[in-house]
Amino acid sequence: MPRTFDGSAGWPALRERLAARLDPGTLAALDEAVAFAVERHGDQRRPAGEPYVEHLLEALEVLAEGVGERDPDTLRAAVLHDVVEDTPTTLEEVRARFGDRVAELVGWVTKGEDREAYLAALPGAPDAAIAVKLADRLSNVQRLRTHPRPAKRASYYRETVATIVPLAAGRPWFEDWYRAWAAEHADLGGAV
């Protein structure tokens, strides 16, 4: 059974755990990113009803604690990965506040109107953007059974196996996690 990440304890608890792993400058940069994400996402909820910010913290936790990522831009992009897609925030606002590299990473993981084209382009993304996407999807699928719509559970499982799991190739921690997850949830998508 793969590890489950949980953002429900909030940023102060995660920050305290990360203080042993990350330097103070990175933690301060994450303070700013988390505050911005909380402000922009507001009262948004996930499909199962939990506060949206929990998903953002889970993506961060996956990278910082699971994978061992230390790059501040990659970690901030994990926190901000849905701010352009799911709020009125623009990529230019992200760039002005957090810099070109964070904006580039957020841009790579922001779905446009054409979902198929977005998924097809992901293999060409920079390694850091792929890591953010893998962490994002991991947070989404780790509790896939709690999604309120069975048809969505099945289609999301199949899409993950077909388009996201291949991105984990050459990234041992993600390969192992997704392999265990796919096996444990295979009944959701049938044969793929």
Instruction: Give the active site residues.
Output: 85-86
Which tokens go with 122?
């992901």
Q: Amino acid identity of 49?
A: G
**Alpha helices in 24-169, H assignment, sequence order:** 24-41, 52-61, 72-80, 83-86, 91-98, 100-108, 115-121, 127-141, 150-159
User: Which residues, in sequence order, are CB contacts of 144 under 8 Å at separation 6+?
Assistant: 153, 156, 157, 185, 188
Distances (CA, A) of 145 to 14, 73, 102, 118: 25, 32, 32, 25
| Measured distance CA(27)–CA(4) in Å, rounded | 23
| Measured distance CA(80)–CA(92) in Å, rounded | 13
Cβ neighbourhood burial of 164 (10 Å; 0-12, 13-18, 19+): buried
